[in-house]
């Protein structure tokens, strides 16, 4: 049961009482656990509780368990599975829930890797992703009409990558419930500190823990948190397929996670400042940030997010050329993909993360050729704005 506010739970969370009274939980780098007797081993294999009941790290491990429990509390779920990457978490969801001949509804504005996975690997298995753009996903009648008997789930990101459109979690969860299918929300951009999709009716959330949860850009990991009975199925699938997280990565994420609230507060504050600064600049066609006016799904923002997040996207003049010039002129902000790091990172979706889309697909998903995606870090705001202004120097004014 959650006893404290998020900022406190994020620091303290689930505590284990080890005989050695460790202040910080040790990292349990072990694949197996001894049985005191043959009978204990036999009981464990029958799924019975024996002591702490650890059997094999593919099934569970004390360090991974601690992260899973902490994320279960923060997201208000029933259970969680930590995975080797965000992509293996997403793949496990699809594989556990859909079979050949099935389909699912997905917003087309997605993490580039998710889109590539849905269009290549999943399609090969004769599972069909029905893509709808952000505006269509916020239209209840379009969603209802798109669901048929073979539809197994609805999959969304909100804020969606890279245009940061906000999708209406409560409405989508209501439609999903009526049709008796789960709504899955990729909560990577918001984290449970800013948004709790399960409280709004979603059945499962998925994270790339590589990003804000860990926050330090030094590992790849994922996690699924959700409600039963769905999580029982997901856990069983993951035990069979083995896409699990290393205990060491779980230990590092537990460490990184402790500063999530203060990182996010600082990063959101700077992102808000940068988005307002860019919004009036005539070298920029459009700024995407949930805290600004005229954003897709903006009216939903207040209902489902505590703050607008720390990702800012903007379209510079001059398309691909302008986008590349901005990146090449950066001195402080790192030119790279990924996000959620304490360091600020910038990338150009059309030539990088979303080059998995064809130009037509990018257009449909609302991803402009001059779009820059900025992940705002915790640096001094004056240094960040100076670097951004300097990087805009070769972009023509229109």
Ligand X SMILES: *Cc1c(COP(=O)(O)O)cnc(C)c1O
CB 164 within 8 A of CB 295: yes
CB of 69 to ligand X, least distance (A): 21
In the complex with ligand X, the residue whose CB is nearer, 93 or 220, is 220
When asked if residue 155 is in the footprint of ligand X (CB under 6 A), the reply is no
Among 86, 226, 370, 377, contact with ligand X (rule: CB under 6 A): 86
When asked if residue 203 is in the footprint of ligand X (CB under 6 A), the reply is no
Long-range contacts of 56-60 (CB under 8 A, 24+ apart): 56/31, 56/32, 57/30, 57/31, 57/32, 57/244, 57/247, 58/239, 58/242, 58/244, 59/239
Among 70, 196, 211, 263, contact with ligand X (rule: CB under 6 A): 211
CB of 140 to ligand X, least distance (A): 24
Cβ-Cβ contacts under 8 Å for 272 (sequence gap 6 or more): 289, 291, 308
In the complex with ligand X, the residue whose CB is nearer, 213 or 392, is 213
Among 11, 56, 113, 276, contact with ligand X (rule: CB under 6 A): 113
Q: What is the DSSP string of 294-362?
A: S-TTHHHHHHH-SS--SEEEEEETTHHHHHHHHHHT-SSSEE-S----SS-EEE-TTTTTTTTS-HHHH
Give the integer Cα–Cα distance in Å for 92 and 189: 20
When asked if residue 111 is in the footprint of ligand X (CB under 6 A), the reply is yes
Q: Which two tokens stand for residue 150?
A: 């073979």
CA distance to 35, 118, 189, 239, 256, per residue, from 249 (Å): 26, 26, 20, 18, 10
Cβ-Cβ contacts under 8 Å for 385 (sequence gap 6 or more): 273, 274, 277
The SS3 of residue 224 is strand
Asked if residue 292 has a cis previous peptide bond (ω within 30° of 0), the answer is no
Give the integer Cα–Cα distance in Å for 375 and 312: 7
Among 92, 103, 108, 161, contact with ligand X (rule: CB under 6 A): 161
Among 109, 114, 134, 275, contact with ligand X (rule: CB under 6 A): 114
Would you please indicate which residues are annotated as catalytic (active-site) residues? 58, 111, 186, 211
Give the integer Cα–Cα distance in Å for 94 and 326: 37
In the complex with ligand X, the residue whose CB is nearer, 155 or 301, is 155
Among 72, 163, 208, 347, contact with ligand X (rule: CB under 6 A): 208
In the complex with ligand X, the residue whose CB is nearer, 131 or 189, is 189
Give the integer Cα–Cα distance in Å for 367 and 365: 6
CB of 83 to ligand X, least distance (A): 9
When asked if residue 210 is in the footprint of ligand X (CB under 6 A), the reply is yes
CB of 212 to ligand X, least distance (A): 9
Place of tokens 């990924």: 338
In the complex with ligand X, the residue whose CB is nearer, 210 or 325, is 210
The SS3 of residue 20 is coil
CB of 112 to ligand X, least distance (A): 9
Q: Which stretch binds ligand X (CB under 6 A): 24-32, 84-92, 125-133, 256-264?
A: 84-92
Q: In the complex, which residue's CB is closest to ligand X?
A: 86
In the complex with ligand X, the residue whose CB is nearer, 113 or 319, is 113
When asked if residue 357 is in the footprint of ligand X (CB under 6 A), the reply is no
The SS3 of residue 196 is coil
CB of 348 to ligand X, least distance (A): 16
CB of 41 to ligand X, least distance (A): 35
When asked if residue 127 is in the footprint of ligand X (CB under 6 A), the reply is no
When asked if residue 222 is in the footprint of ligand X (CB under 6 A), the reply is yes
Angle between helix 230-241 and 86-97 (nearest 10): 110
When asked if residue 387 is in the footprint of ligand X (CB under 6 A), the reply is no
Chain residues in the site for ligand X (CB under 6 A): 85-87, 111, 113-114, 157, 161, 186, 188-189, 208, 210-211, 220, 222, 339
């Amino acid at each position: 049961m959650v006893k404290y506010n998020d900022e406190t739970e994020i620091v303290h969370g689930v505590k284990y009482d080890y005989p050695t009274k460790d202040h910080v939980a040790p990292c349990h780098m072990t694949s197996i656990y001894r049985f005191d007797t043959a009978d204990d081993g036999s009981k464990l294999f029958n799924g019975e509780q024996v002591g702490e009941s650890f059997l094999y790290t593919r099934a569970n491990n004390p360090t991974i368990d601690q992260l899973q429990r902490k994320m279960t509390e923060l997201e208000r779920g029933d259970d969680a599975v930590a995975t080797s990457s965000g992509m293996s978490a997403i793949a496990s969801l699809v594989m556990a829930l859909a079979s050949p001949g099935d389909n699912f509804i997905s917003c087309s504005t997605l993490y580039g890797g998710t889109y590539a996975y849905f269009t290549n690997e999943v399609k090969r298995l004769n599972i069909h992703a029905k893509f709808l753009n952000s505006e269509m996903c916020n239209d209840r009648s379009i969603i209802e009409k798109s669901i048929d008997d073979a539809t197994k789930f609805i999959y969304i990101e909100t804020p969606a990558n890279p245009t940061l459109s906000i999708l209406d979690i409560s409405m989508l969860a209501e439609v999903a419930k009526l049709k008796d299918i789960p709504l899955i929300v990729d909560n990577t951009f918001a984290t449970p500190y800013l948004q709790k999709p399960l409280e709004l009716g979603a059945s499962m959330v998925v994270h790339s823990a590589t990003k804000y949860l860990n926050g330090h850009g030094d590992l790849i990991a994922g996690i699924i948190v959700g409600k039963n009975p769905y999580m029982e199925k997901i856990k069983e699938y993951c035990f069979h397929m083995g896409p699990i997280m290393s205990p060491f990565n779980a230990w590092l994420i537990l460490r990184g996670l402790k500063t999530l609230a203060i990182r996010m507060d600082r990063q959101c504050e700077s992102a808000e400042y940068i988005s307002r600064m860019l919004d009036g600049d005539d070298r920029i066609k459009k700024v995407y940030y949930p805290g600004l006016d005229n954003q897709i799904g903006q009216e939903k923002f207040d209902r489902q997010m505590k703050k607008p997040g720390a990702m800012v996207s903007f379209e510079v003049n001059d398309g691909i050329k302008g986008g590349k010039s901005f990146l090449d002129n950066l001195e402080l902000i790192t030119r790279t993909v990924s996000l959620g790091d304490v360091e600020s990172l910038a990338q150009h979706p059309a030539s990088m993360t979303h080059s998995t889309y064809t130009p037509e697909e990018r257009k449909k998903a609302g991803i402009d050729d001059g779009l820059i995606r900025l992940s705002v870090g915790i640096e001094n705001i004056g240094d960040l704005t100076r670097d951004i202004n300097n990087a805009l120097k070769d972009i023509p004014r229109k």
